[in-house]
Structure 1
Amino acid sequence: MEDSKMSSNERPRRRVLFVSAGASHSVALLTGDSVCSWGRGEDGQLGHGDADERHLPTIISTLGECEISAITCGADHTTAYADSTRTVYSWGWGDFGRLGHGNSSDLFIPHPIKALRGIEISQIACGDSHCLAITTQGDVHSWGRNQNGQLGLGHNEDSLVPKKVVAFEGIAVKMLAAGAEHTAAVTESGKLYGWGWGRYGNLGLGDRNDRLVPAEVAGVNNEKFTLVACGWRHTIAVAESGNLYTFGWSKYGQLGHGDYLDHLVPHQVAALKNNPIVQISGGWRHTVALDSSGRLYGWGWNKFGQVGVGNTDDQTSPQLVKNLAEEKVKQVSCGWRHTVCITERGNVFSWGRGTSGQLGHGDAVDRSLPKRIEALSADGLACQELESSRTTTSTGSHWISPSERYAVVPVETVRSLSRNMHQNANVGDNEVPSSDASVPDTDVKRLRTGF
């Protein structure tokens, strides 16, 4: 509907252009350069100037005049890019320098990354604790945690500001993907690279060793690769042919090969060999793939329904995501334990873990089937009734005392009263009671301390 055809008191209809999911939060880019976020907010990852959860999409007021053109979620932080001003913004949990501002402070409203000002960026990738950016010239910059070499800088020291990955000098990088502690890249010539933590073969290099600099994956069936994505400890890649390959950790079937075997080199997902894949995304332990007909497939860890097949059983091979038969999906993003997608009709669906409101339905309930987010969908409220955060200037609050926050890692051994109440809420058809969430086997609970 054109603005000129609206009544004077009707708000403009907006559409969701892109969605990105983090550990327990979600972010959407809308027409009109608006950005909204929802879900867990205790580390500032929502950008609203506080540590509150949002169970419904809320406009980030401080980005209102920034002309944002791209968004990307890390686990507990978020980035945005404005093409018109060539500015990268970041906010959220700041440990290990993942925000790129030269320190490890958390930020509760977006701030520009000074080291990247004026640089034209084609893509930003965010992992658990590190980020990377590709310039339009094909150069790569990385920053954040680097204990296993995931920044590709030739050492394992963290970087508090973006630094150029010199190993890619003369090599034009097309696409990047970041996992928990590893990174992957596809070049313009179709080559695949991996670096960082490689214990499960997630670098695709045929061994379980770490790499401090990008290493080229050996050729696979003479394929040229066009897309790459990372899960927590696994990697997904798509070739020009549309063939899908996965490698790395498969304890929960997240590689999609019908078993639980790790693969140290790219291995084709046979179940989708007749379905040309055009988009992929990796969650903590699950994977989704979109084919050229707009059909969405999911597999892997499914404890909270994040695969989208109506149950909570792990799936070792690709399964058609249900409740989307009448729509064609055009974009999808996996969070740690939830999934969000946009359809060609402009509807937004989410499913999986919902205990922090990251599904955007106004509650804190897990769902094993996709449910339309009414506030954002073209067949719903079409973004006309979205609230905005109260912080409107850069002088707003950007620090929250440790006593006002919860633990960062999404474990539920300690909960606020409100989360206990959420657990006891009524659960409807195809909804899963929020009860337990495991954490990485080697992780310790990250308690907040002062800066």
Structure 2
Amino acid sequence: MVVVEEADSGSEVAAQVTPGRVLLISAGASHSVVLLTGNVICSWGRGEDGQLGHGDAEDRLFPTQLNALDGYEVVSVVCGADHSIAYSDSRLEIYSWGWGDFGRLGHGNSSDLFTPQPIKALQGLRIKQIACGDSHCLAVTMEGEVQSWGRNQNGQLGLGHSEDSLLPQKIEAFQGLSIKMVAAGAEHTAAITDDGELFGWGWGRYGNLGLGDRNDRLIPEKVSCVNGEKMVLVACGWRHTISVSASGGLYTYGWSKYGQLGHGDFEDHLVPHKLEALSDSFISQISGGWRHTMALTSDGKLYGWGWNKFGQVGAGDNADHCAPVHIKFPNDQKVINVSCGWRHTLAISDQQNLFSWGRGTNGQLGHGESVDLNVPKIVEVLSVDGFSGQHIRSSNIDPSSGKSWVSPSERYALVPHEVAQGNSAVSGNGDPNDASVPQNDVKRMRV
């Protein structure tokens, strides 16, 4: 429960947390969003493109309540790279906000939104799950149908062509199949059916579709090389894919330059490859970051591996790890939920504590500072074990009284040591494929 206190002045007020339990977490490129008991949403981190939903473009260093959705009974929140999505079950509405280029917000245009707005094309649908990639989104209905929208230059929408879609469209290729869940990467997508079949489509240069080659696919194609096991979970990193079988086995495939597949080497895999290092564990949850991976076991142990320049693996160092590392938490707390952002990670413990680590330059860790951390640190204001009397900031924006949208901005920034060239960015290590992004997406390439 969050009780709002009276403010002296300004657009934000302080609210006393008595502490609400964190139910859901989601990490974007440089921002974080959580859902608390009482249907309260908090967001923090980078806000340049409106992805925090507070009505402005300011960064937030602490968790801030998103007032615009108060009372909307939101049951799900998901981060894309620089946009966010929430779903209200009682209202049967999906809301989106943030960076709007390529139609990733689903409103029929490419405008940025600084406060949540309903996606009218999806109004009335009963939604089972939502997934956001870098520039595209998907929603699975309770009937097992899939709607997709946004960037589609490599066919990641699964619509049979490579034209962007400013509005949600049904993936007709799944006719006759019931989809259980979907996952979205930078430019590729994966799905699992209720029968445990695994599909991949979109950009496949690193084998991240699991189809045995490096070709793109414009429509979903079934992945056959999974040892006959049925799949129950799937997640996408930027250019790699993770899946879990009904027996709790973990499979990874795709790009592995930073060890993000976890097989003890840096070799790409074009088909799902079982992660033997965790073969004695039953995997209950997975999450893929830009170049790192997290896996949670049924007994509450968290493992991480891959790119670790900013400490996002959480192992206490900044070295890349090509095999799973057990991540330690204070008092041996067990983990019940994990989410990877591009360069940071969030986790919830069984003692109702929220932890964050990794890149913190925009305040996405929620600790009130802009520093990186290579071990999990408790987000005090959203944790039972936080200091008593902690206050959470609360945006006080009336969406009807101000401008909620702007046309696509020209705020572009290159990663240091990277130079945009045509449709790619060449990194300082000389690998033109290391940070390849579509033209006009260069502003997304930040460290």
In structure 2, C-alpha distance between the alignment counterparts of 1:217 and 1:382, rounded to whole Å: 51
Q: Name 1:297's counterpart in structure 2.
A: 303
Q: Name 1:331's counterpart in structure 2.
A: 337
Q: Name 1:407's counterpart in structure 2.
A: 412
In structure 2, C-alpha distance between the alignment counterparts of 1:199 and 1:207, rounded to whole Å: 8
TM-aligned CA deviation for residue 65 of structure 1: 1.8
Q: Which runs of 5+ in 2 are unaligned?
A: 4-14, 419-432
TM-aligned CA deviation for residue 399 of structure 1: 3.7
TM-aligned CA deviation for residue 400 of structure 1: 5.5
Q: Which runs of 5+ in 1 are unaligned?
A: 4-8, 415-437
In structure 2, C-alpha distance between the alignment counterparts of 1:262 and 1:235, rounded to whole Å: 11
2:42 counterpart SS class: strand
Q: Name 2:120's counterpart in structure 1.
A: 114
CA RMSD across the alignment = 2.3
Contact 2:92 2:125 in 1 (8 A): yes
1:76 aligns with 2:82: yes
TM-aligned CA deviation for residue 379 of structure 1: 1.1
Q: Name 2:435's counterpart in structure 1.
A: 440
In structure 2, C-alpha distance between the alignment counterparts of 1:185 and 1:447, rounded to whole Å: 28
The letter for the 1-side match of 2:42 is: C
Q: Name 2:276's counterpart in structure 1.
A: 270
TM-aligned CA deviation for residue 222 of structure 1: 1.8
- What percent of counterpart residues are identical? 63
TM-score (norm 1): 0.89
1:40 aligns with 2:46: yes
**Equivalent of 1:92 in 88, 98, 108:** 98
Q: Name 2:429's counterpart in structure 1.
A: none
The letter for the 2-side match of 1:62 is: A
The letter for the 1-side match of 2:320 is: D
Q: Name 1:311's counterpart in structure 2.
A: 317
The letter for the 1-side match of 2:412 is: A
Bigger share in strand: 2
The letter for the 2-side match of 1:358 is: Q
The letter for the 2-side match of 1:80 is: A
The letter for the 1-side match of 2:397 is: T
Give the 4+ runs in structure 1 shifted more than 6 A: none
Q: Name 2:213's counterpart in structure 1.
A: 207
In structure 1, C-alpha distance between the alignment counterparts of 2:385 and 2:294, rounded to whole Å: 24
Q: String of CA shifts for 1:230-273, please: whole Å, max 9, x gaps.
A: 00000000000100000000000000000010000000001000
Contact 1:109 1:394 in 2 (8 A): no
TM-aligned CA deviation for residue 326 of structure 1: 1.5
Cα distance, 1:232–1:383 mapped onto 2, change above 3 Å: farther
Q: String of CA shifts for 1:62-117, please: whole Å, max 9, x gaps.
A: 01121110000000000000011110000000000000000000000000000000
TM-aligned CA deviation for residue 394 of structure 1: 3.1
Cα distance, 1:169–1:265 mapped onto 2, change above 3 Å: same
TM-aligned CA deviation for residue 324 of structure 1: 4.7
Q: Name 1:347's counterpart in structure 2.
A: 353
1:271 counterpart SS class: helix
TM-aligned CA deviation for residue 398 of structure 1: 1.9
Cα distance, 1:413–1:209 mapped onto 2, change above 3 Å: closer
Q: String of CA shifts for 1:378-398, please: whole Å, max 9, x gaps.
A: 111589621111213333332
Cα distance, 1:10–1:307 mapped onto 2, change above 3 Å: closer
In structure 1, C-alpha distance between the alignment counterparts of 2:390 and 2:79, rounded to whole Å: 24
Aligned length: 418
2:357 counterpart SS class: strand
Contact 2:16 2:392 in 1 (8 A): no
1:386 aligns with 2:386: no
The letter for the 2-side match of 1:301 is: W
Contact 1:175 1:185 in 2 (8 A): yes
1:379 counterpart SS class: coil
Cα distance, 1:118–1:252 mapped onto 2, change above 3 Å: same
Contact 2:110 2:408 in 1 (8 A): no
1:150 aligns with 2:156: yes
The letter for the 2-side match of 1:389 is: S
Q: String of CA shifts for 1:20-52, please: whole Å, max 9, x gaps.
A: 000000000011101010000000000000000
Q: Name 2:69's counterpart in structure 1.
A: 63
Cα distance, 1:263–1:26 mapped onto 2, change above 3 Å: same
Cα distance, 1:328–1:234 mapped onto 2, change above 3 Å: same
TM-aligned CA deviation for residue 221 of structure 1: 1.7
**Equivalent of 1:235 in 235, 241, 249:** 241
Cα distance, 1:189–1:401 mapped onto 2, change above 3 Å: closer
In structure 2, C-alpha distance between the alignment counterparts of 1:13 and 1:24, rounded to whole Å: 25
1:282 aligns with 2:277: no
Q: Name 2:30's counterpart in structure 1.
A: 24
Q: Name 1:367's counterpart in structure 2.
A: 373
In structure 2, C-alpha distance between the alignment counterparts of 1:118 and 1:382, rounded to whole Å: 42
